[in-house]
Structure 1
Amino acid sequence: MRYLPLICLSLLLSVSNASAQVASPPVFDVHVHLRDGETSLRAFEADTRSAGIELAGLGAMWFGGPHQALAGNPADIRVRNDGVIALAERHPRVVAIGTVHPYDGQAALDELERIASQGVKLIKLHAHTQRFDVADPRVLALVRKAGELDVAVLMDNANIVAGDSENLFNLALRARDTTFIFAHVGGLNFRFWNILPLARTADGIDMDNVYFDISATVLLMADSPLEDEFLWTLRNIGIDRVILGSDHPQISLARTLEAFERLDLSDEEKAAIRFGNARRLFGLDAP
């Protein structure tokens, strides 16, 4: 009989742990590269299941790494956009992320309009790998068109290119009717974005069209000497403007969440970043 209390305690701990897992907020991953369509999606979902992650949804793009949407071949971009649109139609949790190349001019604008008419609400642009200059007038024309079509623009902001954050700030300022998500929240130049609370003090400037995903950068920040500054930056940006992203397959969602959970954020802040903000931005249903 003396073992009974230990058995009861073990059962209570098991129930407690199970309840904590059930209560864990769902996750929306806004930054997922599915280079092989259905095959890549199955692999991503298997990874999340094995890690015990409740997946509310994902933003899926077809290009990345060695597979880029380069200028000069809009017909190929069109075919590949159709692939990710079809994938999203088969899988309700998938938010299709299309792309175009700004230097394709009118062809890019036409493709943007076409995919928007098919329900695409988000496109991805990557200045470094797609080889374009953010300050080019064709980029401004494209993102303004996206705003007119109610399509948000996810743009790389890892500061691989000199002046990356500064150019993106100016782009968002010049295209205020367009919603932007800046991926990687500036990388190791995240401090730049503390300019936002000061910019918002200027008449007529609220910068409410700017969101950030914390993919990749969060791995460097958790438990680092910079963590306090990073959290200070996220709160200056506004926690309601921050979205979780993994950059799968380069970085897994499980690894991203492991780092994210080590950040000294409140439960409410974590829930907003994991799913709440994306739910509001994209009009998602709860899982």
Structure 2
Amino acid sequence: MNITTFLAAALLLVPAAATARPVFDSHVHLWDGEKSLGEYEAQVKAAGLTVSGLGVMWFGGPNQARAGNPADISARNDALIALAAKHGGVVPIATVHPYDGPAALDELARVAGRGVRLLKIHPHTQRFDPADPRVLTLVKRAGELGVIVVMDNANIVPGGDSEKLFNLALSAPQTRFVFAHMGGPNFRFWNILKMARTAEGLLGDNIYFDISATVTLAADAPIEEEFVWTMRNVGIDHILLGSDYPQFSLEQTTEALERLDLTPEEKEKIRQGNAARLFATRP
């Protein structure tokens, strides 16, 4: 084989090698339970991807958990836990509504007792204010139980939500947070972390991000350089990959990550290493 033929063959193998690397998809919406999981798995298989784990939620759209019906929320949590028990690598992400008060705290303790390690709450679709004292009570209790709190951070609420989430994390230093979408188009706000870390005793090491959806917007865009700069300022070790399925596919997401000007080591941490470490450890 001459050198030209060898290089051509090697280049043909690059996409396959890239897709063969395992991915931990930390942000998957299963709007229709087992059926949705099957559709997700078929899509991933067709793309030639290997998934080492996925964080799943029946959360968003028609299945949103609203205040005032904690029994329905409990039933959905139980169904999600049962689904995860049937499928290796599936990490259940439960939910409550902060405004359900004591009922929300009881449900949090109940699912934590059943082994749930993640809780997602969504200010926009659940219609609550992250600055409400009931939210702080809930997330502090989550930290005491070793439960990681995932919160939407797409900045689609009036006035944005990053500032409130930042102060919430400051007020609950024993709780680990994953802020989904890393601020959306307003990701630049999170460069504040680089400065906040210089203030002694102000900020814990408790803020993580997933870059679901936002990474597909930033790749090959005029904002890409700033996006990568922000990722490094918040800390590559604190960034997770998520698809936000079914709104985006894992294939779209991984291809966008590959296009970012990051080192192979940084991409591997984001692709699966950080999520595997975070979800497997307690504070």
TM-score normalised over the length of structure 2: 0.94
Structure 1 stretches (4+) deviating beyond 2 angstroms?
Answer: 8-12, 22-25
Name which of 64, 80, 90 aligns with 1:94. Answer: 90
Query: What residue in structure 2 maps to residue 192 of structure 1?
Result: 189
Q: Which moved more, 1:254-263 or 1:269-278?
A: 254-263
Cα distance in structure 2, aligned partners of 1:25 and 1:93: 16
Structure 1 residue 258: Cα displacement: 1.5
SS of the residue corresponding to residue 120 of structure 2 reads strand
Cα distance in structure 2, aligned partners of 1:81 and 1:226: 38
Q: Which amino acid aligns with 1:94?
A: V
Which of the two has higher C-alpha Rg? 1
Cα distance in structure 1, aligned partners of 2:15 and 2:183: 36
Are residue 260 (structure 1) and residue 232 (structure 2) matched? no
Name which of 123, 128, 131 aligns with 1:132. Answer: 128
Are residue 171 (structure 1) and residue 197 (structure 2) matched? no
Query: What residue in structure 2 maps to residue 209 of structure 1?
Result: 206
Are the structure 2 counterparts of residues 214 and 9 from structure 1 closer, same or farther at C-alpha, using a change threshold of 3 Å?
same
Name which of 227, 231, 240 aligns with 1:230. Answer: 227
Structure 1 residue 65: Cα displacement: 1.3
- Deviation readout 1:19-65 (Å, 9 max, x if unpaired): 96278431011110011111111110111111011101100001211
TM-score normalised over the length of structure 1: 0.93
Count of aligned positions: 280
Name which of 72, 75, 80 aligns with 2:76. Answer: 80
Name which of 118, 135, 138 aligns with 2:114. Answer: 118
Cα distance in structure 1, aligned partners of 2:128 and 2:71: 19
Cα distance in structure 1, aligned partners of 2:151 and 2:280: 20
The 8 Å contact of residues 199 and 206 in structure 1, kept in 2 or not, is answered as yes
Query: What residue in structure 1 maps to residue 137 of structure 2?
Result: 141
- Deviation readout 1:55-101 (Å, 9 max, x if unpaired): 01100001211221000000000000001100111112100000000
- Deviation readout 1:230-269 (Å, 9 max, x if unpaired): 1000000000000001110011111111111111111000
Structure 1 residue 10: Cα displacement: 6.5
The 8 Å contact of residues 223 and 263 in structure 1, kept in 2 or not, is answered as yes
- Mark the runs of 5 or more structure 1 residues left unpaired by the alignment: none
The 8 Å contact of residues 147 and 178 in structure 1, kept in 2 or not, is answered as yes
Q: Which moved more, 1:144-153 or 1:12-21?
A: 12-21
Structure 1 residue 167: Cα displacement: 0.1
Name which of 240, 246, 250 aligns with 2:243. Answer: 246
Q: Which amino acid aligns with 2:198?
A: T
SS of the residue corresponding to residue 61 of structure 2 reads coil
Pairwise CA RMSD: 2.1
Name which of 39, 45, 49 aligns with 1:49. Answer: 45
Are the structure 2 counterparts of residues 19 and 150 from structure 1 closer, same or farther at C-alpha, using a change threshold of 3 Å?
same
Q: Which amino acid aligns with 2:35?
A: T
Cα distance in structure 2, aligned partners of 1:22 and 1:254: 11
Are residue 67 (structure 1) and residue 81 (structure 2) matched? no
Cα distance in structure 2, aligned partners of 1:270 and 1:15: 20
Are residue 279 (structure 1) and residue 279 (structure 2) matched? no
Q: Which amino acid aligns with 1:172?
A: A
- Mark the runs of 5 or more structure 2 residues left unpaired by the alignment: none
Q: Which moved more, 1:185-194 or 1:13-22?
A: 13-22
Percent identity between the aligned chains? 63
Cα distance in structure 1, aligned partners of 2:181 and 2:196: 21
Query: What residue in structure 2 maps to residue 221 of structure 1?
Result: 218
Q: Which amino acid aligns with 1:81?
A: N
The 8 Å contact of residues 25 and 275 in structure 1, kept in 2 or not, is answered as no
